Structure 1
Amino acid sequence: MASSELLEVILDNSKSKSGKHAIRSFLFQVENNLIVDLSTSSGRNLPSTYKVGESKIVEVPKGTVVYLTLKKNIKGQVRGRIVELKDNKVVLVMNYRKLKLKRVEGDSKSVDPVKKVLDYLKVPVKKVNLR
């Protein structure tokens, strides 16, 4: 593999038997104002994190892609990690916690695709910290 390395991500959609813990992963391609859901694309199956559900490995296409992982804990709190990729290079990494988005690393100017995806998923965001 010279310069055409394939990047793969894990899409996990599972919950515990009791339903108190859950994890959801999404993969979206963002082009202009068009959002394409790649979470339903085929891939190699993996054992899921929790008992009920499924997990798979999917290849990331070229272009602007947003990879989102959300976990719900026993208290019902949702935490997440959002990674924006542009041509298989990490451009922006953000954390989601207590309804707030916080930039961890990367370019804060490229936050628009992340905001579009969160609006598309109707994820509530009260504050965005880009420092």
Structure 2
Amino acid sequence: MEVYLENSKSKTGKHAIRSLLYTLENGKLVEYKTAKVKGKVPPTYKIGDKTLVIIPDKGIFIHLVFLKNLKNKVRGKVTVYKDGNIVSEFNYRKLKLKLVKGDPTYADQVKALFEELKIPVKGINLKLPKG
């Protein structure tokens, strides 16, 4: 499984993107740093870097991508991988987490990760959208 890890910002500093990768080890969430780097990719913004990494097919991984816009608002996308497959996807907007698709049982791990990273969350919506 391949994911992008990026930390870049615009020249003015008004736009930024940051992505993180965490894994669940022995019931604890740990930042995954032993990923195999497949290669460097041009970043979204001018300052920073973006790498393509390979994560193993065994285990639970949480991939977070946050985007800061011109008005200093942060939006995010959280993807939970289990054994190489996507099991849950969440959106983060207006300080709220919303389950977009997948299994709501992973919401506890995502909420715990947000608390560990000190990212404010007002509420979580676990109702799947109709359609």
Distance change (3 Å), C-alpha of 1:99 and 1:74: same
CA distance in 1, matches of 2:36, 2:13: 26
2:40 maps to 45
CA distance in 1, matches of 2:33, 2:88: 20
2:59 to 63, 71, 82: 63
Report Cα offsets for 1:48-96 as digits up to 9, x if no partner. Answer: 1100000000112220100000000000000010000111111110000
**Conserved? CA contact 2:36–2:55, under 8 Å:** no
- Is the counterpart of residue 80 in structure 1 residue 76 in structure 2? yes
Report Cα offsets for 1:102-130 as digits up to 9, x if no partner. Answer: 00000112212211221121110001000
2:30 to 9, 16, 36: 36
**Conserved? CA contact 1:26–1:39, under 8 Å:** no
CA distance in 1, matches of 2:6, 2:34: 11
2:21 to 18, 27, 42: 27
TM-score by length of 2: 0.90
Q: Structure 2: any 5+ residue segments left out of the alignment?
A: none
Q: Structure 1: any 5+ residue segments left out of the alignment?
A: 1-6
Q: Greater shift after overlay, 12-21 or 28-37? A: 28-37
CA distance in 1, matches of 2:35, 2:13: 25
SS of residue in 2 equivalent to 1:111: helix
Matches for 1:106-125 after TM superposition, within 5 Å: 106-125=102-121
TM-score by length of 1: 0.90
Instruction: Calculate percent identity across the aligned residue pairs.
Output: 48
Q: Which 4+ runs in 1 deviate beyond 2 A?
A: 39-42
Paired amino acid for 1:107: D
CA distance in 2, matches of 1:40, 1:74: 33
